[in-house]
Structure 1
Amino acid sequence: MQKYEIFINPKWIKKLENDIWMDDHVPAVLKIGDNQYSIKLAYRGNVIRKKKKKSYHIIFQKPFTVNGAHEIHLNAEYNDISLSRNKLSLDFFDRIGVISPQSQHVLLNINGFCKGIYLELESFDQYLLQKRKLPDGPIIYATNYYANFSLLNPENELKTSLIEGYTLKYGDKSSLTELEYMIAMINSLNNEEFEKEIPKVLDVEQYFTWLSGVICTQNFDGFIHNYALYRNGKTNLYEITPWDYDGTWGRDLHGQKLEHDYIPITGYNTLTGRLLYFSKFKKMYVETLLEILEKQFTIETQEPIIEKLFQKLTPYISLDPYINIDNEKLKKEKIYMLDFINKRNSYLKQNFGTLI
């Protein structure tokens, strides 16, 4: 496992600790192997900021990019006793054909003190597009639960803005205007117009592949949060990509068990609801999901992937001062994950009839 060492003036650590909600970055140095980089550092996330083990956002200063990235995220994965659900989920999306941030586990030291195992994540931005040779296009983050493709917020109150819940990551202001247009279209067009117009702005097949990934991994927040929208500059269609998937594979974001049938096969959001009204879109979704259930979301496919990751983590778990897990608990967690896959797979196959 790669070792990351951060060196930071104690006064900047104190500044971060005095205001855990501060998003301002402070100067530091990151050492990876024999290489040293000037960086800016800040806490990231929401719930995790209150925990003993924090997550970090890093922006490279000198050099400006490292391995093609200008920003990276170091996730504490504090509520996941396996430290693996986020990576397993993002890798799963990648395998089924959805653009997904790459990730790797690293051992983090700050000023000589071991802070434990972290998950390094790519930032979904223009540098990721360049690195993967994808067409340029705007990227918009769904930054809170208001990003539900609806006129109403989750409290069933009228939104103050159609793009409430979204933050522009890359692109100009017109990108938000274009998104506003799509959300208005989703909520105002009659059925005949919607069926005709939505494929002109949304990559529907890609959306259903993403939806299948959310449904399989059972990310409760994934339908109205924990995603980014990317408008492909070549097709001019919106695509959707996952983010923050630690509440998956049978547990919620707090690490508590989540029954395999907690989320229905249709998921939750206004866009999905409108799409699944039409027979041709239902057929597309069923075919996409069924293929994934047959080939990817199976014990046969996932068990060696989980086992390989757990074997990689095992030698370093005792070094993490914030987690209390041994090899036996890790084995039990693997059994729990595989049982979830088996039950979730069966449940979804049994509920295809609700789509017809």
Structure 2
Amino acid sequence: MDETFKLPQYKIFINPIDFRELKRDIWIDDPVPAQLAIDGKKLEIDLSYRGSHIRDFEKKSYQIVYYKPKKFKGSSLVHLNAEFKDPSFIRNKLSFDFFKEIGCLAPQSRHVFLTINGKAEGVYLEIESVDENFINRRDLPNGSIFYAVDGDANFSLMSDLDKETKKSLKLGYERKWGSAKEELYLQELIYQINTLPKAEFQKEIQRYVNVESYLRWVAGVIFTSNYDGFVHNYALYRNGATGLFEVIPWDYDATWGRDVNGKRMESDYVPIHGFNTLTARILDENHFRKQYRKLLEEIMNHQFTVEYMAPKVEKLLQSLRPSVLLDPYKKQQLDQFDQELAVITLYMEERKNYLKKKLTMFD
């Protein structure tokens, strides 16, 4: 492989007995001890599978927790995503970078090449964990982080899963960082979203939500077309200084024109107004609606253009191609990989046409 294009190498070594234990039941979250050779260093780690339905895939995704030392490059753990259903390998990274460019918090990511016990596992995306280190790395005020773990993270009093009133306003969320007291702030947020009278909503919601940041996140979901983005694929960060909640995107491989199965997605599949209770209430306010429309137009004229994005897509694909040739799970699909620039740019053109037609609904 040309040294110019070689990806960072992740070399994992596991005792065969521990490796058999890991493979014995893919649904067990318990980690096994392993060693990681990276950047000329050898680290002791705990290794486990990650994800839900993706564990069934032939190419597994992993979570690495640093054991000795406890941190490496400022992180306690990282995620290695196989990106198995994404023919391009880049949609997650492309999305996270896009969110950052439009003014949202988003995880850092980079592609690496993984081997386990000397066997090539192929191209992976290393993704920063959204945790206390995420906050510290950005010099953000300490606060709390909640993961949206299922469809009940819909900002509603009603369950998205069983269509009944939620037994707890914490349903759908898992506290990743922060004290137990922070869960009271989360519950207060959900309660206020659903009970504030319309006459008070515009003013009062800004005591709980960073609305400017929230609308930028909504725009990011809309432009990338993450179908699950409004009720599942995100984390909540409560800024301890302002007391306001912001949203952080997560799990964006099913975007830019392909769905969760890697199949082509229609450009109008995700509606311009999104879907969850908070988004509906915010866009019901004339002031926020105009703010949202202006934001969509600005992004459509700057970041979400083929002229701006295509070079980024092409650069990523070119940097990965030599490594894709060595990926045992994907090297037979190189023809499809080579077509992904055209797939993504066509999606952008069709998506922009759809969004332009729908902008008038925010007048």
Same fold (TM > 0.5) = yes
Of 249, 252, 256 in structure 1, the residue corresponding to residue 256 of structure 2 is 249
Name the structure 1 match of 2:156. Answer: 150
* Larger displacement relative to structure 2 (127-136 or 87-96): 127-136
Deviation at 1:236, TM superposition (A): 1.6
Output aligned runs, 1:153-164, within 5 Å. 153-154=159-160, 155-164=162-171
Q: Give matches, 1:9-158, under 5 Å.
A: 9-154=15-160, 155-158=162-165
Q: Deviations over 1:111-144 (max 9, x none)?
A: 1100010000000111111112111110111011
Whichever residue aligns with residue 312 of structure 2, its letter is: I
Structure 1 residue ranges without an equivalent (≥5): none
Structure 1 SS opposite 2:141:
coil
1:330 and 2:346 aligned = no
> 2:294 aligns to what?
287
Letter aligned with residue 70 of structure 1: S
Mapping 1:212-231, distance limit 5 Å? 212-231=219-238
Residue 314 of structure 1: how far off its partner (Å): 0.6
**Distance in 2 of aligned mates of 1:325 and 1:186:** 49
Secondary structure, aligned partner of 1:315: helix
Secondary structure, in 3 states, of the residue corresponding to 1:148? coil
Mapped partners of 2:30, 2:131: distance in 1: 19
SS in 1 for 2:222: helix
Could you state the TM-score of these two structures normalised by the residue count of structure 1? 0.98
> Residue by residue, what CA displacement relative to the aligned partner does 1:52-88 show, whole Å, maximum 9, x if unpaired?
1110011111111111111100001001111111111
Structure 2 gaps, min length 5:
1-6
With normalisation by structure 2, the TM-score equals 0.96
CA distance in 2, matches of 1:33, 1:153: 46
- Separation (CA, whole Å) in 2 of partners of 1:26 and 1:94: 34
**Superposed displacement of residue 328, structure 1:** 3.7
Q: Structure 1: which amino acid aligns with 2:11? A: E
> What residue is the counterpart of 1:185 in the other structure?
192
Contact 1:81 1:325 in 2 (8 A): no
CA distance in 2, matches of 1:168, 1:213: 24
The answer to which of 247-256 and 330-339 deviates more is: 330-339
Matching residue of 1:306: 313
Q: Which amino acid aligns with 1:39?
A: I
Q: Once superposed, which parts of structure 1, at least 4 consecutive aligned residues long, lie more than 6 Å away?
A: none
**Which secondary structure does the structure 1 equivalent of 2:123 belong to?**
strand
Equivalent-residue separation in structure 1 for 2:111 and 2:9 (angstroms): 9
Matched to 1:25, the amino acid is P
Contact in 1 for aligned 2:149/2:232 (Cα 8 Å): yes
The Cα shift of 1:331 comes to: 3.0
Q: Deviations over 1:168-190 (max 9, x none)?
A: 00001111111011101111121
Counterpart in the other structure of 2:4: none
Name the Cα RMSD after superposition: 1.1
Q: Distance in 2 between matches of 1:95 and 1:127?
A: 21
- Percent of aligned pairs with the same amino acid: 47
CA–CA distance in structure 2, aligned partners of residues 205 and 251 of structure 1: 28
Aligned length: 356
Letter of the structure 2 residue corresponding to residue 49 of structure 1: R
Q: C-alpha separation between the residues in 2 aligned to 1:36 and 1:61?
A: 11
String of CA shifts for 1:266-314, please: whole Å, max 9, x gaps.
0110000001111001011111111111100110110000000000001
2:349 alignment partner, one of 342, 345, 356: 342
Mapped contact 1:138–1:171 kept (Cα < 8 A): yes
Amino acid at match of 2:311: P
How far the C-alpha of 1:346 sits from its partner, in A, is 1.6
Aligned AA (2:156): S
Question: Deviation at 1:257?
Answer: 1.1
Match of 1:296 in 2: 303
Q: Which moved more, 1:215-224 or 1:29-38?
A: 29-38
Give the aligned residue type for 2:191.
A
Structure 1 SS opposite 2:201: helix
* Structure 2: distance between partners of 1:248 and 1:3: 27
| Whole-angstrom distance in 2 between the partners of 1:41 and 1:331 | 32
Q: In structure 2, how many angstroms separate the alpha carbons of the residues matched to 1:32 and 1:330?
A: 27
Per-residue Cα deviation, 1:136-166 (whole angstroms, up to 9, x for no partner): 1101110111100011122422222111110
In structure 2, the residue matched to 1:355 is 362
Aligned to 2:3: none
**Contact conserved, 1:149 with 1:269, CA < 8 A, in 2?**
yes
Question: Which of 219, 232, 246 is matched with 2:239 structurally?
Answer: 232
